[in-house]
Amino acid sequence: ERIIYAQPCKTNSYVRYVKAMGVKQMTFDNADELRKIAKLFPEAELYLRIMTDDESSLCRLSMKFGAAKEATNDLLGVAKDLGLNVVGVSFHVGSGASDPMAFYKAVYDAYEVFEQGRAYGFEMKTLDIGGGFCGDTFEDMAAVLRGAL
C-alpha cells in the first residue's frame, strides 16, 4: 500500500500485474495513460506527475517525463470524466540535483495542481517528491522542503 508504481509508459500487462499484486498507487502524465488505467484498473489511486525545472540536475528527467504546467488542469478534467481517483501530485527534479530551490519551486507548482484538483472534487492529500536530493545530508534538503511546505 506504500508503493507508487511510477513507470511513465505502462504496458497493459504491467498495469494488470501491479493490480494483481495489490499495488494501487501509480503516476500518470498524459491522457493516453489515463484511458489505459480507466480500462484496466479504474480503482487505482493516481498521482499526476508534473514537469519540474531540473536544469541543475545531472540527469534531467523533465525532458521526458511529467505533465507541463499548461496541461495539468485538462488532465485532471480527463481523469474526472473517466471516473478515476487522483489522490496526489508527483515530481522528480532529476538525479544529482544541485539546486535546492528546484525542489522549492516544484512544491509551489504542485500546490497549484492540488488547487486545480480540489476544484474537480478530488481529495488530493499526498505529495511524492521523488529523489535526486542534493546537499551533504538529507537534513539540508529537509530544511528547504519544510520552508516550501
Domain boundaries, the chain: 4-148
What's the grid cell of residue 44?
Answer: 487505482
pTM confidence score: 0.85
Contact yes or no for 50/72 (Cβ under 8 A): yes
- Among the ranges given (48-52, 111-115, 129-133), the one the predictor scored with the smallest mean pLDDT: 129-133
Q: Mean pLDDT, the chain, as a whole number?
A: 85
Contact yes or no for 100/144 (Cβ under 8 A): yes
Neighbours of 83 (CB within 10 A): 9
CATH 3.20.20.10 applies to domain 4-148: yes
Q: What is the pLDDT of residues 56-95, one digit of tens each?
A: 544 444 555 789 999 999 999 999 999 999 999 998 775 5
